[in-house]
Amino acid sequence: MTHHDKVMLLGHSDEYFQDKGMQVTIAFNHFGEGLVQRMPRCRHGYFHVVNNDYTHWEMYAIGGSASPTINSQGNRFLAPDNRDRKEVTKHEDAPENEWSRWNWRSQGDMFLNGAYFRRSGAGASSSYARASSLGVRPSTLVGTMTLRAGALICRKGAHC
How far apart CA 157 and CA 80 sit, in angstroms, is 41
- Do 23 and 125 touch, CB atoms closer than 8 A? no
CA torsion angle 10 14 37 54 (round to 10): -50
Rounded to whole angstroms, the Cα distance separating 34 from 123 reads 32
The catalytic residue positions are: 38
92-97 LR contacts (CB < 8 Å, sep 24+): 92/41, 92/63, 92/64, 92/65, 93/14, 93/65, 94/65
With beta carbons less than 8 A apart as the criterion, state whether 104 and 80 touch: no
